[in-house]
Structure 1
């Protein structure tokens, strides 16, 4: 059983682990220790001396690594886990944008966020961006934030509203009041603005970019999404001076070389969700194209309404898709790939320090170095035949380990999981009850027939193929080219 004092210990030391520091040199330390004192990493190395009262965790046979970072997760949808497993992207737009997304109440947003926050920690994701694009009232935003503040993880609220134009909701006094009251930009809760750019030549989104600039907030946007956003949106952002350092471009899967070059030149970051891109049609998973243009990458799981929510699936699907593209491109010209371009080490880097860089948190998290915050994950499972031998540690993280092998998770110095067991019983019980109430509410609101039909919704005769956004009449088939 878990040590009953570990979650309140003044110091914790991981002993005799294989340590992936993810520092600039990508130092790997066999049989080494990681000492956590208070909120920080105090030391990394062999045979560390520790202060009195330190709880020691046997990391032998395991991998100690930084907490993983997810830069794009629609946490509010987690209450609908697996519901849309067979959706296309168009069906997702129909269900959430055109039909049923507006039926979600504040308490439903809370339920999804609470469950998503807890399960992220369970899988070793210590920082998550809540790409919260169904905040159609400030009460919904309050509920989303309540859930994030309740769970002892590191989060970023990316405020969005798919039911109204970003130039509308961002200009209200209620939004400004919410940001001033609830978004302190603390180390544990950050803030972004989340909205898309349709490509309308009038560029109505300019008003929202101006609000973000006034608030000092970075923007995260779905870019290069087949049937929704493409090169026109990137061009408009660039021409109006809103492609600024730190902007996060989600998916970026169907863009021209010109758009990729603009992202690279202006200091943008990409958030790749390869499992999503491969399944629902944003475009071919984008890491291969992004790498060619020198755009820094981070990873995301996108949404549990379709897929797994763990970082191992994100890493594995990204590496597989990237390598598939590399082989495919070579075969098209009669060549054979003999030495692969992207390594397992690269993908682990995107899942850790890549996410930290994209969120402006590199000085705090993303690597195991003295002085940084103690966001630490131990992968160890002595009961699993898949967890030995560990020969290539990066390859083991990507291809062999899974969320069931997450032994211990520390966030900001606090142990939230130990010996494979979450130390969040109260949070998990509350999430279970809240999600059950949300599912019952949605089933009763939609009715049994519509609830079942929603798993494969019909496509109405509407503008959805040229523009899924309900708040604008602008439509153009240019989003179908790239």
Structure 2
């Protein structure tokens, strides 16, 4: 296969700077991407050649390509070679809350466990806790075949906890767009700086960029900002000016709308002159978009991050997000509540979209569907290519010549995968795979998981994590938080409402 002129130049530059990675994944079923048709191409019995951090070429079994003596050849015959998955919205630091959020709603989460609550920002979480939570959470993603994460890092309640999260992201080895959250936090023992707030946070962002610890890693520093509002104010201007100054790779913002408030964020950003720029903006959840909001996202090529399981679990709804899926990527959100597996999000979204259309047809129209409204290929694109598009990176979330060598290899020989990969490898990944099928993961052409094992001292990470989690769990129990339900005003809808429990047992009780 011929290389593009740009790639030839790139490989020459890499070679001039010394030895580079040279890997051949030999003989797999490759899920490649065709940029000219914006569709997936399945390449059976094909080898993927990686030079440096890029894909140099694809070669089928009839090719005359022969690897050089220095090429590391890895046999992936019979397995599926997929692009690494992109998580477009995450709070990676909060891993220690696992087990405490299983039956929460968003109101309860925000009141008791969110970033601005006493448990989180009040001094219980130290910099060491944030570091181990961030790293462990991202390693869970890596284990599941995720290679890129947009991390809304709202653990910035002190200079120390902020920098600890960045160090945890770097240590994960993933491609992390670590987005420093600029926001006010209640005054607390968490910071030794009594003047801590957005202005000093902006100063720290600039200092962290200049310090450059991230430069020799696959982590980049972006900005998260939930405070934007009309009319234009000094903080809005300062945040977006800094994004331009540091050449931020992305800015991410939360918005739900509807009863939660915050309707029309795309319109606000547009009115303020922030939406139609070269800065990629990713709006997380965006459950209640208007037709005007949707038109603005399309015209400016900006994206929303759908987090299906989170929005179902927390009660955020999908009021209109199904109308703008061409401007949507998938994310996980709070992996402390459920798994960090982006494929699981793709599967949930696929089946919920099918159900939405079928319900309308069957229940409202009384008619029977003849075809399926959404395909496994479309779900796969939401979990891969669209994540790259959200970042305006054509080289992420795809397998193509010149793309970043961020690759996930699935075993196709497990009981759940056996046979299906030969017939439909995309369906195998989206509908049949689980984390145990992720055999290899590469980021920038470097193995991060190999033969089913992540390449870190997981025992050491796990030991430190469990000690940290126990401390935080005890603090939550002492504050009588587990099992609480938040009752009171929340957003423009007023007081929260207690809903009836579902009944799954016969006789007395519900099984809740």
CA displacement 1:56-84 (0-9 Å, x = unmatched): 33322221111111111110011222320
Q: Deviations over 1:402-428 (max 9, x none)?
A: 11100111111111212212222x2x2
Match of 1:405 among 437, 443, 448: 437
* CA spacing shift, 1:436–1:61, aligned 2, 3 Å: same
Equivalent of residue 61 in structure 1, options 59, 70, 78:
78
Q: Deviations over 1:148-193 (max 9, x none)?
A: 2223221111111554399834665334323332476777122221
Asked whether the 8 Å contact 2:416–2:432 carries over to 1, the reply is no
**C-alpha spacing 1:10/1:241, structure 2 compared with 1 (3 Å):** closer
Q: TM-score, normalised by structure 1?
A: 0.86
Could you tell me how far 1:401 is from its partner in structure 2? Answer: 0.7
- SS state of the match for residue 100, structure 1? helix
Q: Secondary structure at the match of 2:387?
A: helix
Query: Is contact 1:167-1:205 (8 Å) kept?
Result: no
Deviations 1:447-482 (A, max 9, x none): x443xx423223254x5x01xxxxxxxxx44999xx
Does structure 2 conserve the Cα–Cα contact (< 8 Å) formed by 1:288 and 1:326?
Answer: no
- 2:207 is aligned with 1:177: yes
Q: Would the alpha carbon gap of residues 37 and 168 (structure 1) be closer, same or farther in structure 2, given more than 3 Å must change?
A: closer
Q: Distance in 2 between matches of 1:377 and 1:36?
A: 13
Match of 2:219 in 1: 189
Picking from 86, 92, 105, the partner of 1:88 is 105
- Report how far residue 280 of structure 1 moved: 0.9
Give the secondary-structure state (helix, strand or coil) at the position aligned to 2:417: helix
Cα distance in structure 1, aligned partners of 2:345 and 2:302: 21
Alignment-derived partner of residue 150 in structure 1: 171
Q: Using the alignment, how far apart are the partners of 2:153 and 2:139 within structure 1?
A: 16
**Distance change (3 Å), C-alpha of 1:105 and 1:171:** closer
Cα separation, 2, equivalents of 1:198 and 1:460: 27
Superposition deviation, residue 211 in structure 1: 3.4
Q: State how 1:114-129 maps to structure 2 within 5 Å.
A: 114-129=135-150
Cα distance in 2 for partners of 1:438, 1:195 equals 28
| Superposition deviation, residue 381 in structure 1 | 4.6
Q: Distance in 1 between matches of 2:494 and 2:475?
A: 37
Matched, 1:13 2:24: yes
> Aligned runs of 1:47-446 on 2, under 5 Å?
47=61, 48-95=65-112, 96=114, 97-102=116-121, 103-161=124-182, 163-164=184-185, 168-169=198-199, 172-182=202-212, 188-197=218-227, 206-207=236-237, 208-217=239-248, 218-245=250-277, 246-284=280-318, 287-291=321-325, 295-331=326-362, 332-362=364-394, 364-390=395-421, 391-424=423-456, 426=457, 428-446=458-476
Q: Distance in 1 between matches of 2:197 and 2:356?
A: 38
Out of 152-161 and 429-438, give the one that drifted further: 429-438
**Cα distance in 2, alignment partners of residues 222 and 265 from structure 1:** 20
Give the match's secondary structure for 2:223: strand
| CA 1:142–1:187: 2 relative to 1, 3 Å | closer
Higher mean C-alpha displacement, 12-21 vs 66-75: 12-21
Cα distance in structure 1, aligned partners of 2:197 and 2:232: 12
Give the RMSD, CA atoms, in angstroms: 2.8
- Shift in Å, 1:342: 2.3
Tell me which residue corresponds to 1:473.
Answer: none
Instruction: Indicate the residue corresponding to 2:504 in structure 1.
Output: none
Q: Is the 8 A contact 2:170 2:214 kept in 1?
A: no
Aligned to 1:34: 48
Q: Contact between 1:22 and 1:349, CA under 8 Å: does it hold in 2?
A: no
Shift, 1:306, TM fit: 0.9
Against the structure 1 CA distance between its residues 235 and 37, is the aligned structure 2 distance closer, same or farther, given a 3 Å change threshold?
closer
Question: Residue 288 and residue 233 in structure 1: after superposition, are their counterparts in 2 closer, same or farther (change >3 A)?
Answer: closer
| 5+ residue gaps, structure 2 | 1-18, 187-195, 497-512
Contact 1:134 1:161 in 2 (8 A): no
Uncovered stretches (5+) of structure 1, i.e. residues with no partner: 1-7, 467-475
- Structure 1 residue aligned with 2:12: none
- Note if contact 2:257-2:264 (Cα within 8 Å) is conserved in structure 1: no
Preserved contact between residue 198 and residue 228 of structure 1 (Cα < 8 Å): no
In the other structure, the counterpart of 1:470 is: none
Give the direction of change, closer, same or farther, for the CA distance of 1:135–1:385 in structure 2 (3 Å limit). same
Aligned-pair CA distance for 1:13: 1.9
Count of residue pairs brought into register by the alignment = 453
- Matched residues in 1 for 2:366 and 2:265: separation? 36
The 3 A distance-change label for structure 1 pair 195 and 185 is: farther
Q: Higher Cα Rg: structure 1 or 2?
A: 2
Question: Aligned to 1:21, what secondary structure does the other structure show?
Answer: strand
Change (3 A) 1:167 1:359: farther
Instruction: Judge conservation of contact 2:409–2:441 (CA < 8 Å) in 1.
Output: yes
- Structure with more contact order per residue of length (Cα contacts < 8 Å, sep ≥ 6): 1
| Alignment-derived partner of residue 10 in structure 2 | none
Aligned CA distance change for structure 1 residues 215 and 57 (closer, same or farther; 3 Å): closer
The verdict on how the C-alpha distance between 1:346 and 1:377 changes in structure 2, with shifts beyond 3 A counting, is: same
Alpha carbons of structure 1 residues 54 and 182: separation in structure 2 relative to 1, 3 Å? closer
CA distance in 2, matches of 1:171, 1:113: 19
Contact 1:287-1:318 within 8 A present in 2 as well:
no
